[in-house]
């Protein structure tokens, strides 16, 4: 991503949604704001709007190199003088890959970091904390206690927290998480960093917690939403499940829920591509980091690669969302999942990556995209 001249003045963008008018004022942005995000409408009565990232590879397919640029640019803004150990937490489901990318970049300059993701998929192992994201379509988050003794000790000794999400609107989720961590036993925290692609919170976390908080983002601004009180509220599908499904997870093959200090590229090591071949790599739900590493490897091998992921987030068609596929989740929870902005026939090859068995992936999705399912068995 070419930053050109970063925006330092203000820029106003808006969208007219079915339930009102959303307007944002961008105060500062490392990259062109319209290259970073766009607007969409939630199928959620609690909040009508959504800021859809163009560099996250979640709702809009993105090139792995573009995603890595955003990971690295965000990590570069994190203060270098944080006292260690440093615990980095990525927020489910949207920011688990973003958090991993930030941690990967951060771990290149220091050796005292741990990465942990919040999750809505319990592994059956010991839980460490639970917190809420009130406005979300799935409000409850779980944090597991690392099983590995060294990782667990480093986490419990953490003196700095880096909390990563795709966007901050009010800062309340960060406040809920930081309180839950302290209540669970992280009592040595001296510094807190919130790291987001887009930050609309007006420094809310620092105002609430004090000067030990630093907020970094690729874009900083504010939004106003003028809601139409006469507009109909949408019906939101039941997607808030926080439970073990029919397809249980193996903690021994974990990639982040149990805490990691390094990132291993393990998916499909023998997969070959043709230079210029148009390939879409699809992560599933929270399982996105190892699929991203695969996509990154295939792009470096010369393929024309985009990355995206399935999601439980219900979004209406329109604005940034021009196509949606709906299918059953691959964890056996019985909830709908979605894949956005991917049309059948758009790519030469589609690779759907799963941490559950291939049989758990909805055959309707596989058939619609003529896809190959790749299972994480390392």
HSE at residue 195, side-chain half, CA atoms within 13 A, is 31
Rounded (10°) CA dihedral 47, 49, 55, 56? 30
Residue 313 placed within a domain: yes
CA-nearest of 104, 80, 76 to 90 is 104
What is the mean pLDDT of the segment spanning 81-108? Answer: 97
Cβ-based neighbour number of residue 44 at 10 Å = 21
Per-residue DSSP letters for 69-104?
HHHHHHHTTS-TTPPSSEEEEEPTTTTHHHHHHHHH
Going by C-alpha positions, the residue among 217, 297, 268 that lies closest to residue 29 is 217
Question: Please, how many CA atoms are within 13 Å of residue 134, restricted to the half-sphere of its CB?
Answer: 8
In a domain, 50, yes or no: no
Alpha-carbon span 67 to 331, nearest angstrom: 26
Q: Please, which residues have CB within 8 angstroms of residue 377's CB and are 6 or more apart in sequence?
A: 253
- Nearest Cα to 242, choosing from 312, 356, 338, 142? 142
Q: How high does pLDDT run on average in the chain?
A: 93
DSSP character at residue 146: P
> pLDDT tens digit string along 274-284?
999 999 999 99
Residue 66 CA to residue 86 CA, distance in Å, equals 26
pTM: 0.94
| pLDDT number for residue 350 | 98
Give the pLDDT score at 134.
57
What pLDDT shows up at residue 4?
46
Residue 336 within any structural domain of the chain: yes
Domain span at residue 290 reads: 263-375
Q: Which of 51, 53, 52, 56 is nearest to 69 (CA)?
A: 56
pLDDT score of 253: 81
Average pLDDT over residues 341-350: 96
Where residue 295 sits, what CATH number does that domain have?
3.40.50
- Is 136's pLDDT higher than 60? no
Res 106 pLDDT > 70: yes
Residue 283 lies in a domain: yes
Q: Strand 324-328 vs strand 336-340: parallel, antiparallel, or unpaired?
A: antiparallel
The residue with greater pLDDT, 239 or 84, is 84
Number of other CB atoms surrounding residue 201 within 10 Å: 25
pLDDT band at 50 (very low <50, low <70, confident <90, very high): very high
Q: What is the distance between the terminal CA atoms of the chain, rounded to a whole angstrom?
A: 32
Token pair, residue 368, equals: 């619609």
Q: Is 296 domain-assigned?
A: yes
Is the peptide bond between 85 and the residue preceding it cis, with omega within 30 degrees of 0?
yes
pLDDT of residue 8: 58
Cα dihedral value 254, 260, 263, 269, nearest 10: -20
For residue 287, pLDDT beyond 90: yes
User: Is the Cβ–Cβ distance between 335 and 237 less than 8 Å?
Assistant: yes
pLDDT at 9: 61
Where in the chain does DSSP place strands (E)? 11-17, 20-29, 37-41, 49-53, 86-90, 113-117, 127-132, 140-144, 160-168, 191-199, 213-227, 278-283, 304-309, 324-328, 336-340, 349-354, 372-375
> Would you say residue 155 lies in a domain?
no
Residue 252, domain member (yes or no): no
Which residues, listed in sequence order, are joined to residue 15 by a DSSP beta bridge? Answer: 22
pLDDT at 7: 63
Reading the block at residue 236, the tokens are 């939101």
What backbone phi and psi angles, to 5 degrees, belong to 363? -60, -25
Instruction: Point out the least confidently predicted range of 66-75, 120-129, 231-240, 318-327.
Output: 231-240
Q: Residue 252 has what pLDDT?
A: 79
In a domain, 140, yes or no: no
- Please check the confidence at residue 5 and state whether its pLDDT lies above 80: no
- Total tally of structural domains belonging to the chain: 1
Residue 289's nearest CA partner among 69, 61, 1, 56 is: 56
Whether the ω angle into residue 93 lies within 30 degrees of 0, i.e. cis, is yes
User: Given the structure tokens 């979640």, which residue do they identify?
Assistant: 58
Q: Is the pLDDT of residue 63 over 60?
A: yes
DSSP class per residue in 235-249 = PPPS----S--SS--
**What tens digit of pLDDT does each residue of 233-274 get?**
888 888 877 778 889 888 878 889 999 999 999 999 999 999
Question: Model confidence at 2, in pLDDT bands (50, 70, 90)?
Answer: very low
- Give the pairing type, strands 304-309 and 278-283: parallel
Please say if the pLDDT value at position 138 is more than 60.
Answer: no
């Amino acid at each position: 991503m070419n930053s050109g001249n970063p925006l330092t003045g203000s820029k106003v963008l808006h969208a007219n949604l079915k339930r009102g008018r959303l307007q944002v004022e961008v105060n500062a942005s490392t990259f062109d704001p319209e290259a970073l995000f766009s607007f969409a409408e939630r199928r959620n009565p609690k909040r009508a709007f959504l800021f859809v990232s163009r560099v996250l590879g979640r709702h809009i397919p993105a090139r792995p190199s573009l995603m890595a640029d955003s990971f690295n640019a965000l990590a570069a803004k994190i203060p270098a003088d944080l006292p260690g150990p440093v615990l980095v937490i990525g927020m489910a489901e949207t920011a688990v890959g973003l958090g991993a990318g930030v941690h990967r970049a951060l771990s290149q300059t220091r050796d005292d970091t741990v990465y942990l993701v919040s999750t809505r998929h319990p592994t059956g192992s010991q839980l460490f904390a639970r917190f809420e994201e009130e406005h979300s379509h799935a409000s409850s988050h779980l944090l597991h206690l690392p099983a590995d003794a060294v990782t667990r000790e480093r986490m419990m000794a953490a003196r700095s927290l880096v909390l990563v999400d795709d966007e901050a609107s009010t800062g309340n989720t960060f406040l809920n998480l930081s309180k839950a961590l302290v209540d669970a036993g992280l009592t040595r925290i001296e510094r807190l960093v919130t790291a987001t692609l887009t930050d609309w919170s007006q420094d809310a976390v620092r105002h609430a917690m004090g000067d030990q908080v630093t907020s970094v983002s690729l874009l900083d601004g504010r939004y106003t939403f003028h809601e139409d009180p006469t507009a109909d509220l949408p019906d939101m599908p039941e997607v808030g499940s926080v439970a073990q499904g029919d397809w249980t997870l193996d903690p021994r093959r974990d990639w982040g829920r149990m805490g990691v200090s390094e990132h291993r590229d393990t998916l499909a090591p023998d997969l070959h591509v043709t230079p210029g071949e148009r390939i879409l790599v699809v992560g599933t739900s929270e399982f996105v980091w190892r699929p991203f590493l695969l996509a990154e490897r295939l792009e470096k091998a010369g393929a024309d690669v985009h990355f995206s992921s399935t999601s439980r987030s219900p979004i209406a068609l329109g604005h940034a969302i021009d196509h949606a596929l709906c299918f059953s989740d691959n964890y056996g929870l019985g909830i709908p999942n979605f894949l956005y902005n991917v049309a059948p026939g758009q790519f030469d090859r589609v690779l759907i990556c799963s941490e559950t068995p291939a049989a758990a992936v909805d055959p309707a999705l596989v058939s619609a995209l003529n896809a190959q399912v790749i299972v994480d068995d390392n």
